[in-house]
Structure formats: C-alpha cells, structure tokens
Amino acid sequence: MSLYGIMAVFADPEALADAARTMRARGYRRMDAFSPFPVRGLAEILGMPKSRLPWAILCGGILGAVLVYGLILYSVEIDYPVNIGGRPLHSWSAFVVIAFEAAILGAALAGFVGMLAANRLPQYYHPVFNADSFSYARGGKFYLLIEAADPKFRKGVTKGQLTRLGAQSVEEVEA
C-alpha cells in the first residue's frame, strides 16, 4: 500500500480555512481542499495560482471574430464577388454582426476547452476517492488533504497536527 496523503474532515468552512492557513504557515505546500461550496479566501491560502482562463477566452473570441471576418471577406471579394446596384463588396456594417456572433462562439469554446484543461478533465480516477470519509452523500463536510509528496510530510506528525487543529476525523488516503 502506498500512501497518497492524509485527509482531515472539518465541520465548517471557517475551521477548514483556519486549518489550511495554519498548515501553510507550518511549511506545507502540497495541500488541497474539498468543499460543497466555495470558501472565500481558501484558494489564496492554498497558494493556488491565478487562472489564465480569462486570457484564453479573450484569445478565443478574437480568433473567432478574425477568422469569420476573413472568411466573409474572402467569399465576397475573391471567391464570388457580386456587384448589386453599385454597392461596395466590403460592406463591413453587415459583416460585423456575424463576426460578433463568431467571437461569442469562439470565446465559449475556448472557455469550455480551457476549463477542461485547467481542471485536468476528464480525470476518471483520483486517489482521494479511496478515503472512506470522503463522500458528499453523508452530508456537506469540509476536507483538507495533505499530500505525502510534500517535503514537510511526516505521517504521524501531520496526523497529530490536523487532529489538534480540530478535525472531526483524520485518515490515510491510499494511492
């Protein structure tokens, strides 16, 4: 049996945030938290980096608009130019609407793919599901996982620290 980490169960979000803050102050860096709803400030306590997803969405929107506008220009000026009543071939006011819709589609697709990549999905297995106490079916608990790969990790010491921080239960998580 190889050890993935230690999972501690807390009753409320404040206890989880306090425990994560204390463990971070003690030098632990390889931690993760699980909660039935977002806990304010927990991402900063865990040291999670800022998301690059907004930039991916912006790039997807710009790319979608530019590609569709270019496709329209190619089709009406080069591939099949039709002069109707002396109107110009490049009628940008009509093309902007379609390009705007393509920008929205490009941003949505980039957001979807970027979210999957940022969350490393689809991930069909994670060792945290080996923990007996990790089940949302039993009620909304708050979990703090200290990974065994952390340089400060010592099984007995880490378990004792989490117990003293007010964890309802502490258990080992198999890899």
Residues 128 and 168 grouped into a single domain: yes
Residue with tokens 């297995």: 125
Q: Which of 56, 25, 39, 37 lies closest to 118 in space, CA to CA?
A: 56
Other CB atoms closer than 10 Å to residue 133's CB: what's the count?
A: 15
Residue 166 and residue 17 in contact, taking contact as beta carbons nearer than 8 Å: no
pLDDT score recorded for residue 138: 66
pLDDT score recorded for residue 136: 65
Tens digits of residue pLDDT in 39-92: 999 999 999 999 999 999 999 999 999 999 999 999 999 999 988 888 888 888
Residues 128 and 46 grouped into a single domain: yes
pLDDT score recorded for residue 135: 74
Domain that holds residue 71: 53-118
Q: Indicate the number of domains in the chain.
A: 2
For residue 39, give every residue at least 6 positions away whose Cβ sits within 8 Å of its Cβ, in sequence order, or none: 13, 16, 17, 33, 142
Residues 24 and 108 grouped into a single domain: no
Sheet holding 142-147, edge to edge: 31-34, 142-147, 3-10, 169-174
Q: Is the pTM of this model over 0.85?
A: no
